[in-house]
Structure 1
Amino acid sequence: MATISLQEIAQHDKKDDLWVILYGKVYDLTQFLPEHPGGQKIILKFAGKDATKAFERQHPPSIIDQYLSPDVCIGQAEVNNEEEELQEEETEEDKRVKLAREKMPRLEEMYNTFDFESVAKNILKADAWGYFNSGANDEISMRENHNAFHRIWLRPRVMVDVANIDMTTKMLGDKTSFPLYISATALNKMAHPDGEKTLAVAAGNQGVIQMIPTLASYSIDDIVGARIHPDQPQWFQLYVHKDRSIAKRMVEHAESKGIKGLFITVDTATLGRREKDMRQKYVHEGPAELQGEELNREGGVATASSGIIDMTLNWKDIAWFKSITKLPIVLKGIQTWEDAVLAARYGCAGIVISNHGGRQLDFAPSPIEILPEVMDALKREGLENSLEVYIDGGIRRGSDIFKAIALGAKGVGIGRPTLYAMAGYGFKGVEKLLQLYQDELEMCMRLMGARTIADIKPEMVDTRNLKDHFVANPTDYLAKNAYEKMVPRGNISKL
């Protein structure tokens, strides 16, 4: 491989002649530029330069070989023998984040999921917070995901021996310590340097299942390698690539690594309009070449996925997936009972009732609201034993888990809470978060008279107001404060 001088590389800094250095290799991205899912702006910013630091903040190195043809790598970059590379100048944003981290409360002061969210709001960089916390349009569905749980009331049973509580259950055949899994969320390295590897460690220590995302910051090999137990179950979430050969290769690789379930995301035929994330694209002006041009700002950081997803995905494709893998197939993003019935009839092993965390279609109903009608439809069609039903979105308390199980869910997934816990406190934070969920569920089961997960029944909850979106609810200040502007403070008790 030819060695190319830094001076030569610097001359190729235009849209029609663009080279970039990644991990010491030189790539000609001229033809790839208009196809980049994240838009042209970020590549042009590093035209003729080394983009490694910016690249590795979001992507694993393996993604280069996955999406770029080998012939775009044209040589090895000359080694810079100067004394030491100058440190990047500390920005005002860097200073703000540094100060906020210095004033963070201790991990012992985290008493619930909202405490982690409040801390994360202060210590994450603006682009990361905008990406993780954004919902579609007015973010009605995002907030409704949690608010809907407030319209379900409990019917406690007393005089039950609850000295011993067993929260263990099985999901897709694997035993878990309680019915919760860590759902797939993209670009975890924006929250913590170790990203998804952090979640693998925490999941293993707490006995829960981690779902690995397609758009992970680390390769699937790295994340699987981070497991603390060799038999630790993990699932894989798949965005179906419009190049089916790539999708096939990803599925086969996941299966070869011992992944236990394939979760196909089916609610992203197009990208939702996430305005909080989109606004971050206006923070810094783009390169001079793009001034005055119409930029694609439709998704902010989220556009990393928008250009690869196959919009032709349909029910007939289930047969194709079954032909390429023996993994149980679960459809993630079911939002009606009709589609739940179809999933069962097409032979899926399970479904996740989900509106993508309220990030796709605003006013899509909350998963917990859809769950009862899904279970009723499956029973009506004699399909209730044909597939496992999960939900994700808005689960913030152990009592939320209880309500979901009572209404028929096999388990629940959490996404944003793990990102927030990881952002502030690493794997210890995620472990504390999972322990809080488990402790709250245990307390709820005791006070409800349920000794095991199997003892949690539909008659233990009152859902008469579940579909009444306009019923007056007690104000949930913990959740409300997480969505309102807050002044950074050092003590969580003052938030």
Structure 2
Amino acid sequence: MSSKKVISGKEVAVHNNRESCWIIVHGKVYDVTDFLDDHPGGSKIILKYAGKDATQEYEPIHPPDAITTHLAPEKCLGSVEPDTALKIEVKVSDLEKQRLERVARRPPLSEVLNLHDFEAIAKLVMPEKAWAYYSSAADDEITNRENHTAYHRVWFRPRIMIDVTKVDWSTKILGHHTSMPIYITATALGKLGHPDGELNFTRAAANHNIIQMIPTLASCSFDELVDAAQPGQVQFLQLYVNTNRDVTKRIVQHAERRGIKGLFITVDAPQLGRREKDMRQKFEADDPSEVKNAGESDSVDRSQGAARAISSFIDPGLQWSDIPWFKKITKMPLILKGVQRWEDALKAYDLGLTGVVLSNHGGRQLDFAPSGLEVLVEVVEQLGKKRGLKFPNEKFQLFVDGGVRRATDVIKAVALGATAVGIGRPFLYAHSAYGQEGVEHGLQILQDEFQMNLRLIGANTIKDISRDMVDASGLGSHVVSVPGDRLYDSNYESMQHAQLRELKAKL
């Protein structure tokens, strides 16, 4: 059929089963019959929308071009006749009504005093599906908590009697000016938390002169986020390497043409970690009657959660020998994101890369991976010994992410040799609870904290923050008692065991 054909919703509705499955996304009709068993999220969710408009389910967890990327052009059968498509009736449950009431009772932003506050509000007002995806981490979530706790084992050694009338916390990342030594790191599925998705980060970053790292798995399309940037606004791209190298090459070279200033290649996700909060929530995510009507058996794997539905393309075969290929296809600075030991940082340096992000994927991959802060100390020490490098270093830059909630955390990382720190979840929570205004308020909180803390440690600029201003001697001791962070601990949601199903009375 011609892609220009107009198809009535009545005709689409007939194709509502495994033998002939059509769906509507953004007004277009697609034949997904042959794609059912290849869909990373399983056939169940597609069959739930067979013969109907699936846009509402599709949009929060897929970039707009995902369906055209994975389906052959001829599978687009045409456009649906306006106002004729069958839509799944959205019933507002009592739980959803209660959630909307909580949204209406959010405190004004003036009462949000720190990044912890955003998490506390977001937990109460976000849809359960979004909270499960954003907050979950791998296995027992030890590394997730350790990312934050590690900062508690580093203490300041403040200088006094320094003229701090004027302080300046701006710096440069990969040679590009930024108002503070942070960037909004890549986090997937922004529309799960807010309809505007990652556009909230793009716009807020512009207003605060902060760099945004665009995620491969954004809910918004790449071009949409680049188009939304202000003239001269700096953006990086986080890249999951596709098993199809032609696709990867196309993404990378398109990003370079669009003016992206740095390519951050994720290297810690050859397989997704088990995020049990997300997985457990999915056991309750779908109406069993819908599954039954769709012809799915009870043996369907429902445990993968939102992440699996969009990430099955990631290449587990990525290796060091691929680095020369990346250098051939782009002139962008290349940074490896997800380095977790000094030996690999050294190898990245020797291969001529621009830097590394010392990261464990927010604790979402390998549990008991070390915190980025702890790896930072060993990288600085060993690259100093092996190659005579001093950090921060303009030619080989070290970044850290995971667990950051305060400007003091960032200052500690800078003192230990980092160029800048990536912040992810706090901005997700800010945008989920308050949209773009929330992200901007979070950035302003950090600006205020930087001003205060630079004065209190006796540093006029970021360059004045030095290694002797912190005591990190306890950083490697994982059993040492640390001061409890009451705000962080009150936000952390304990993991749950499997539980007995609710008993229902027969009468």
Please classify the TM superposition score into its range, dividing by the shorter chain length: over 0.9
Conserved 8 A contact 1:197-1:226: yes
2:63: which partner in 1? Answer: 60
Matches within 5 A, 1:20-419: 20-80=23-83, 88-227=90-229, 229-283=230-284, 284=286, 285=288, 287-288=291-292, 289=294, 291-382=296-387, 384=389, 385=393, 386-419=395-428
Query: In 2, Cα distance between the equivalents of 1:424 and 1:281?
Result: 22
Give 1:270 deviation, angstroms: 0.3
| Count of residue pairs the alignment pairs up | 483
TM-superposed CA distance for 1:438, in Å, is 2.0
Moved more, 275-284 or 116-125: 275-284
Deviations 1:22-50 (A, max 9, x none): 12221111221222222222211111111
Distance 2:315 2:213 in 1: 21
1:78-110 alpha-carbon deviations (Å, 9 max, x no partner) = 33359x989632122321220111111110001
C-alpha deviation, 1:291, in angstroms: 4.5
Q: Secondary structure at the match of 2:61?
A: coil
Tell me, in whole angstroms, the C-alpha distance in 1 between the residues paired with 2:75 and 2:398.
Answer: 44
Change (3 A) 1:298 1:345: farther
For each residue in 1:395-452, what CA deviation from the matched residue of structure 2 results, as whole angstroms up to 9, or x when unmatched? 1011100100000000000000001111111111111111112221221211111111
Structure 2 residue aligned with 1:492: none
1:9 aligns with 2:12: yes
**SS of residue matched to 1:17:** coil
Please tell me whether the aligned partners of residues 344 and 383 of structure 1 are also in contact (alpha carbons under 8 angstroms).
Answer: no
Partner of 2:223, secondary structure, is helix
- Whether the 8 Å CA contact 2:189–2:218 is kept in 1: the answer is yes
- Is the 8 Å Cα contact of residues 22 and 29 (structure 2) preserved in structure 1? yes
CA deviation vs aligned residue, 1:255-280 (integer Å, no higher than 9, x gap): 11111110111100001000001112
**What SS does the corresponding residue of 1:378 show, helix, strand or coil?**
helix
Counterpart amino acid of 1:194? D
- Supply the AA of the counterpart residue of 2:236: W
Q: Which stretches in structure 2 are left out of the alignment for 5+ residues?
A: 495-507
Find the aligned partners of 1:405 and 1:290 in 2 and give their Cα distance: 56
**Whole-angstrom distance in 2 between the partners of 1:474 and 1:171:** 32
User: What amino acid does structure 1 have at the position aligned with 2:378?
Assistant: E
Change (3 A) 1:44 1:455: same
State the 1:60 CA deviation. 2.9
Moved more, 418-427 or 178-187: 418-427
In 2, distance between residues paired with 1:290 and 1:361? 36
Question: SS of 2:224's equivalent?
Answer: helix
CA distance in 2, matches of 1:100, 1:78: 38
Return the alpha-carbon distance in structure 1 between the equivalents of residues 329 and 235 of structure 2.
19
Distance 1:341 1:290 in 2: 53
Per the TM alignment, residue 249 of structure 1 is displaced from its structure 2 partner at its CA by: 1.0
Q: Which deviates the most, 121-130 or 289-298?
A: 289-298
Question: What is the distance in 1 between the residues matched to 2:304 and 2:84?
Answer: 40
Corresponding position of 1:493: none
- 1:491 maps to none
For residue 442 of structure 1, give the secondary structure of its aligned residue in structure 2.
helix
Classify 1:380/1:429 alpha carbon distance in 2 versus 1 (closer, same or farther; 3 Å). same
Contact 1:330 1:350 in 2 (8 A): yes
2:436 to 423, 427, 433: 427
Note the C-alpha offset of 1:383.
6.2
Q: Structure 2 counterpart of 1:428, which letter?
A: E
Query: Counterpart of 1:18?
Result: 21
- Structure 1 Cα separation of the partners of residues 363 and 413 of structure 2: 18
Counterpart of 1:489 in structure 2 is none
Percentage of pairs with the same residue:
50
TM-score by length of structure 2 reads 0.92
Q: Which residue in 1 is equivalent to 2:500?
A: none
Residue 478 (1) aligns with residue 487 (2): yes
- CA separation of 1:320/1:106 partners in 2, compared to 1, >3 Å: closer, same or farther? same
The letter of the residue matching 2:479 is F
SS in 1 for 2:22: strand
In structure 1, give the amino acid aligned to 2:268.
D
C-alpha change, 1:290 and 1:317, in structure 2 (3 Å) is farther
Is the contact between residue 8 and residue 80 of structure 2 (CA under 8 Å) also seen in structure 1? yes
* Match of residue 466, structure 1, among 462, 468, 475: 475
Q: Distance in 1 between matches of 2:95 and 2:32?
A: 30
Task: Give the letter for the 1:374 counterpart.
Answer: V
Aligned with 1:391: secondary structure? strand
SS at match of 1:14: coil
Q: What code does the residue aligned with 1:368 have?
A: L
The CA RMSD over aligned residues, in Å, is 1.7
Map Cα deviations across residues 433-485 of structure 1 (whole Å, 9 max, x no partner): 11112221221211111111111111111111111111112221100000147
When structure 1 is superposed on structure 2, of 344-353 and 280-289 the one drifting more is 280-289
